[in-house]
Amino acid sequence: MREEIDTHMVQSACPTDVTRLPAIRMARHLALVYLNEPVLHTATNTPSFAGPGVPWRISPDDFAAPQVTVEHVGALYALKDSCVAALQTFGDYDPAVLIAASPLFFISRMKYFEHILLKLYVTLTAPGNTYGRVLHRDELAIEAHFKRIKTLGAAMMAIDDTSLSSQIIAASAALDQWFTGYKEIVNSYEQKVTDEALFTAWCPTVGYTPTELDHVPTELWHSTSDFPDLVAQDQDILCGTSSDAAVNPDFWFSLTTLE
């Protein structure tokens, strides 16, 4: 599809200086993301793709995990390339231009790209994922994006803190906070899974057998089979201590309400 769009632009004799305009590039990226977004859809999560792009619409408990095909790989990379490129382009805009322009033209599209990129990150990292085998999370460059947006938002607020565009950009801090908390939970979970695998491999070397694992001292054994339980243990990463978190099996879903 990318090749078809580029071919059409060449055949329509668009001047090179026009095709390089940020607005034209953004429109191209937007078309590609719209076309490939369904690779992230499930039978139940499509409503979460609607605006606004707020943390509780990321739905980390409902993500696509099909058997990966060549078509999936192409769509995933098209999403990644278009979102990353569009957000880089957006970050290079003059803050004064963004304030002067309608929020519906630039800012709303930026929030959409941002939202899709975070949903893609969840799809690559959540336990049970399949897409993470063909696309690495680091390729999404999310930390770099939020760093650019923080700088851009500060510049826009300095120019006009009453502007709707400035306030929408500043709201990206909530997504940044959500991403930081989610990433910490995923990293903690993966470390514990690794520790469990290493411990299981170590047991036979010291005389334990699989049937004896239940009798291993509890301080040496930590079950990591349940990702929501880990979120409950590490809930202070997201929203401080909670007397109900440790016993509430639905605590994992509170991650979707982080603001």
Does 125 have pLDDT greater than 70? yes
Domain ranges of the chain: 2-170, 183-257
**Distance set, CA 56 to CA 34, 158, 168, 256 (Å):** 21, 29, 16, 4
CA atoms of 256 and 2, how far apart (whole Å): 33
Q: Comparing 42 with 228, which gets the higher pLDDT?
A: 42
Give the pLDDT confidence score for residue 197 in this predicted structure: 67
> For position 58, what pLDDT does the model report?
83
Q: Of 15-24, 68-77, 93-102, 120-129, which range is least confident? A: 15-24
What secondary structure letter does DSSP report for 101?
A: S
Lowest model confidence (mean pLDDT) among 60-69, 114-123, 198-207:
198-207
| Least reliable range by pLDDT among 27-41, 46-60, 66-80 | 46-60
Dist. CA 203–CA 185, nearest whole Å = 27
Residue type, 136: H
For 18, 23, 115, 124, 174, the CA distances from 104, given in Å and listed in that order, are 22, 13, 16, 30, 20
User: 32 and 2 in contact (C-beta within 8 Å)?
Assistant: yes
Q: What is the pTM of this model?
A: 0.72
Tokens 């305009």 sit on residue: 21
Residue 92 per-residue DSSP state: T
Token code pair at residue 221: 């054994």
Provide the pLDDT for residue 238: 42
Mean pLDDT, rounded, of the chain: 75
Asked whether residue 52 carries a pLDDT value surpassing 80, the answer given is no
pLDDT in tens, 148-160: 989 999 999 999 9
d(C-alpha 66, C-alpha 219), whole Å? 37
CB of 137 within 8 A of CB of 76? no
Give the per-residue pLDDT at 224. 38
Average pLDDT rounded to a whole number, residues 223-244: 43
pLDDT given for residue 217 in this prediction: 42
Any idea which of 122-136, 199-213, 221-235 has the lowest mean pLDDT?
221-235
Taking every pair of Cα atoms in the chain, the longest distance, rounded to a whole number of angstroms, is: 75
CB 111 within 8 A of CB 137: no
With a cut of 60, say whether residue 141 has pLDDT above it: yes
